[in-house]
Chains A and B, each alone.
Chain A
Amino acid sequence: MSRFRNLWRRLSRYGTFWRYLRYAALAVALLAAGFTLYLDFRVRSEFEGRRFALPARIYARPLELHAGLRISPASIADELRQAGYREVPREDEPGWFARRGDSIEIALRPFVFWDGPQPAQRVHVDFENGAAASVRDAQGRDLPLVRLEPVPIGGIYPANNEDRVLVRLNQVPNHLVQALLAMEDRNFQSHHGFDLRGMARAAVNFVRGRGLQGGSTLTQQLVKNFFLTPERTVQRKVTEFIMAVLLELHYDKSEILETYLNEIYLGQDRDRAIHGIGLASLHYFGKTIEHLTLAESALLVGMVKGPAIYDPYRHPQRALERRNTVLRETRDQGHATMKEYAAARAAGLGLKPKASMGTSPHPAFLDLVHRQLRRDYDEADLRTEGLRVFTTLDPRVQAAAERVLERKLAQYDREKRFGPSGLEGAIIVTDSQTGEVQALVGGRDARYRGFNRALDAARPVGSLLKPVIYLTALAEPSRYTLVTPIDDGPFVWKSRGAPDWEPQNYDRVFHGTVQLRTALAQSYNAATARLGTEIGVERVLATVKRLGIERRLKPFAATLLGAVELSPLEVAQMYQTIASSGFRAPLRAIREVTTQDGRPLKPYSLEVEQVFPAAPTYLLTAAMQGIVREGTAQSLANWLPPESAVAGKTGTTDEQRDAWFAGFTGDRLAVVWIGYDDNRAAKLSGAAAALPIWGELMAGLGPEPLAPPRPDGIENVLIDPQSGLLADLLCPGALELPFAQGSAPVERAPCASAVGVAVEEVKQQATSWFKRLFGR
């Protein structure tokens, strides 16, 4: 202070005081003008675009309801609940369902799908024998097909995980606006950005001991949230003041109010921040803003002051009292009649059951979606443009996969059969025909957004690679058939500059000469290594590549027995091609994308490419069915009946560090991996640790039996399982096995009678003989 006094004195002494003062005043005025201009520029440029960052919104696949669909009313109810439908009929608005015995009544909300809007619709579904018997509309007419609203499964969020749903002011109920103004800014309609009366009232109330009230107008609050950081300094307060006035100069009240309503922070759902009353209305009440009641509006308005303190889920009583304060104030201001007030006060909170999901309940699947989107979209666009992404996730399959992995790993931990607790795992389920990913679990805690083992854990695959060797072999029917004898004696592979490779069998026993199908069914290492080196490692690797593995594998002999690291996703891709008869369909997690307002963008369509002939793929599938029927995966019979004819392969790696099971039914393919994150030696095996998870999962999903189409040039021949030679109906336990035409054995088994000939062949011979005879 004294320094200023000295300056003052000096200035007066020199007599130039007034000149300096004028310069100073000019400088200050210029600075202030410049600052104001700068603020004006900011206000206008940022407010003009008024572009809220909107997250990309991700949806599960819509359930397609039609007569004959195998589904229970319970799983439809589950899915509707996840989509925010309530189990209470509300005549005035859609978004609910009601179950009555063997039927379900659904009031579908309107929804914009990729290919256009679907209006609100009343649907009645009757069930019979575990399937939808009929799907009808309100007038009782049959509907061929109804798409349910897809379950939202998260988003790709902007900074701070801000989530919001934009609304227009004319959608907002009047009582919400009135309650808001009554509480936060009574003179909003008349002030110019600041409110002296409001400030005075706040000051008076403070002095009277009624606590500290903000004297800020809505405009000031908006400026604070929109442009400024939250620290409380005088400088910031001044800036806020100027910007508020500028905002009011440039924009009218309704624009400011609408922006405020969309900006306001109204709570937290785990790591997701709920912004704007549009989203808050959906989040707390499961309804769109138009349908809010006075009581519900008052609850939201009450939360403006402190979304955490008045969180109605965590502090229902406090939130209720706050809501009633808002209602009282609204009535006192003359915006609600006594009757409306009394009714609203008597109402409960009306919250929807809390379906907390954070940024996503299925982060591992979302991760895959995000990666696939990044091939076509900018990261910034994904986080801000409000794209709507329709994925392939099947909520029922996903839930089943998450549950079984969590439960089984908990059980393994308790038993300590495979090693100490802390086992981890991953599961992928796809539609075996189209390559759509129906479920993806990246670890035992499916909600945890972290290391995604399904995509990023590259682990040795062990015997999972064996089918590729056999597929390569079976493509040469003149050399290899399912019954070709293979030597499972001790095998040594010498290559220059590398130690000798002497693969051992899992049971430490060599089995002599075995049939090719048996070597695969029992997963014999020596026989497989011999077969693989006979064909050539390079050729096997070429098949791996054709099946869809882009990663370059090292051309070492040990690669044949799975000394090669792949992720569960890559394994799934490889097996998908086998499951769909040699037609590779890239695994897809996305079907369609639209802009925020529903304009369709490029779809991710089904693509298939025949990368391997159907005949050897068919033969391999038969051999893989043998693995389940009589080989290392026999225990699958504990979960699935023989008629399901599943094909699958177990995988176990060195020192039993990893357990794998990969296989397919008529409609789905699944890959299960179990192991430790630190890759420690354990006592894991594919059959003991991964297979039960696969079996339980698939059995719960009610699989279609596997019956791949028999390609041209394949004939079924009766084979004596012991000798691998021709059998006839007199041979006990004779097996019908497929062969490429002309490749079946011609020698008869001891059990076969003199005329033991391939049944099919006889039929054909007879037919062609008749043709020749009668010219037909």
Chain B
Amino acid sequence: MIKRLIAVAAILGGCAAVQPPAPVSEPVPAPVPAPPAPFENAAVASLVDGARADVAAGRLVNAAASLERALRIEPRNPRLWQELARVRLRQGDYAQAESVAARSNSWAGNDSRLRAENWRLIAQAREARGDAAGARAALEAADRQR
């Protein structure tokens, strides 16, 4: 602990490499949830639109297939994985819903909103499988993403 304090002191004392955040005195308003940003890639956006229309029409298999097409274009896009997790949940494929949501989390970086949503999806999937304790744990994880 002492070593760390020394280190912090040294940083404050003169190291310019690390910029501490500027102190803010006024209270910060609670963040307003922004609508999810549209998909940048037009091809991906059109596939996601198609998938959402398919979901609305109950064509879940087609929706999943469109999202897979989108994932082939942007395999590292956590929001695509999340869309797919949502479709799997609706399909009643709870194991895949959970796995795919976890995959989304692995690409989510610092996007806490996205992570929280993934944990909520995982909670629903676990709940549906009768894993109440697991669902609670997932909801707690969702709450921690702040």
Other than the given A605-B65, A607-B99, 4 more pairs (CB < 8 A) read A68-B43, A144-B46, A145-B43, A434-B75
The complex places the Cα of A64 from the Cα of B73 at a distance, in Å, of 9
Interface string of A750-774 (1 = CB under 8 A from B): 0000010101011101110110011
Which residues of A sit under 8 angstroms from B46, Cβ to Cβ?
A: 144-145
Check if B41 sits within 8 Å of A762, measured CB to CB: no
Residues A667 and B18 in contact in the complex (CB < 8 Å), given A64-B69, A145-B43 = no
Check if B11 sits within 8 Å of A762, measured CB to CB: yes
Check if A774 sits within 8 Å of B65, measured CB to CB: no
Check if B42 sits within 8 Å of A610, measured CB to CB: no
A binding-site residues for B, Cβ under 8 Å: 64, 66-68, 114-115, 142, 144-145, 431, 433-434, 436, 581, 583, 591-592, 600, 603, 605-610, 614, 667, 709, 711, 729, 755, 757, 759, 761-763, 765-767, 769-770, 773-774, 776
Which residues of A sit under 8 angstroms from B96, Cβ to Cβ?
A: 607-608
Check if A755 sits within 8 Å of B24, measured CB to CB: no
B binding-site residues for A, Cβ under 8 Å: 3-4, 6-8, 10-12, 17-18, 20-21, 23-25, 28, 41-43, 45-47, 61-62, 64-66, 68-69, 71-73, 75-76, 84, 95-96, 99-100, 102-103, 106-109
Check if A142 sits within 8 Å of B42, measured CB to CB: yes
The complex places the Cα of A762 from the Cα of B6 at a distance, in Å, of 10
Which residues of B sit under 8 angstroms from A770, Cβ to Cβ?
A: 20-21, 23
The complex places the Cα of A591 from the Cα of B41 at a distance, in Å, of 23
The complex places the Cα of A145 from the Cα of B42 at a distance, in Å, of 8
Check if A755 sits within 8 Å of B75, measured CB to CB: no
Check if B72 sits within 8 Å of A762, measured CB to CB: no
- B28 nearest CB neighbor, chain A only: A776
Check if A583 sits within 8 Å of B42, measured CB to CB: no
The complex places the Cα of A144 from the Cα of B42 at a distance, in Å, of 5
Check if B68 sits within 8 Å of A431, measured CB to CB: no
The complex places the Cα of A600 from the Cα of B61 at a distance, in Å, of 10
- Kindly provide the distance from the CB of A413 to the nearest chain B CB, expressed in whole angstroms: 37
Check if B72 sits within 8 Å of A766, measured CB to CB: no
Which residues of A sit under 8 angstroms from B100, Cβ to Cβ?
A: 608
Which residues of A sit under 8 angstroms from B107, Cβ to Cβ?
A: 709
The complex places the Cα of A743 from the Cα of B92 at a distance, in Å, of 40
- Kindly provide the distance from the CB of A588 to the nearest chain B CB, expressed in whole angstroms: 11
Check if B75 sits within 8 Å of A433, measured CB to CB: yes
Check if B47 sits within 8 Å of A145, measured CB to CB: yes
Nearest 6 interchain pairs by C-beta: A66-B43, A144-B46, A433-B75, A145-B43, A144-B42, A755-B10
Check if A614 sits within 8 Å of B7, measured CB to CB: no
- A142 nearest CB neighbor, chain B only: B42
The complex places the Cα of A144 from the Cα of B46 at a distance, in Å, of 7
- A606 nearest CB neighbor, chain B only: B68
User: Which of B43, B95, B102 has a CB less than 8 Å from the CB of A64?
Assistant: B43
Check if B73 sits within 8 Å of A66, measured CB to CB: yes
- B100 nearest CB neighbor, chain A only: A608
Check if B73 sits within 8 Å of A667, measured CB to CB: no
- Kindly provide the distance from the CB of B13 to the nearest chain A CB, expressed in whole angstroms: 10
Which residues of B sit under 8 angstroms from A767, Cβ to Cβ?
A: 20-21
Check if A709 sits within 8 Å of B24, measured CB to CB: no
Check if A610 sits within 8 Å of B8, measured CB to CB: no
Check if A605 sits within 8 Å of B64, measured CB to CB: yes
Which residues of A sit under 8 angstroms from B65, Cβ to Cβ?
A: 114-115, 592, 603, 605
The complex places the Cα of A436 from the Cα of B109 at a distance, in Å, of 25
Check if B23 sits within 8 Å of A581, measured CB to CB: no
User: Which of A114, A603, A709 has a CB less than 8 Å from the CB of B106?
Assistant: A709
- Kindly provide the distance from the CB of B116 to the nearest chain A CB, expressed in whole angstroms: 14
Check if B28 sits within 8 Å of A67, measured CB to CB: no
Check if A67 sits within 8 Å of B23, measured CB to CB: no
Check if B75 sits within 8 Å of A583, measured CB to CB: no
Check if B23 sits within 8 Å of A773, measured CB to CB: yes
- A609 nearest CB neighbor, chain B only: B99
**Residue among A67, A761, A776 with the most chain B CB within 10 A?**
A776
User: Which of A583, A711, A776 has a CB less than 8 Å from the CB of B24?
Assistant: A776
Which residues of B sit under 8 angstroms from A757, Cβ to Cβ?
A: 3-4, 7
Check if A68 sits within 8 Å of B41, measured CB to CB: yes
CB-defined A-B contacts under 8 Å, sample of 5: A68-B43, A591-B68, A761-B4, A766-B18, A773-B23
Which residues of B sit under 8 angstroms from A68, Cβ to Cβ?
A: 41, 43
Check if A64 sits within 8 Å of B72, measured CB to CB: yes
Which residues of B sit under 8 angstroms from A145, Cβ to Cβ?
A: 42-43, 46-47
- Kindly provide the distance from the CB of A301 to the nearest chain B CB, expressed in whole angstroms: 43
- Kindly provide the distance from the CB of A66 to the nearest chain B CB, expressed in whole angstroms: 3
Which residues of A sit under 8 angstroms from B12, Cβ to Cβ?
A: 766
Which residues of B sit under 8 angstroms from A762, Cβ to Cβ?
A: 7-8, 11, 18
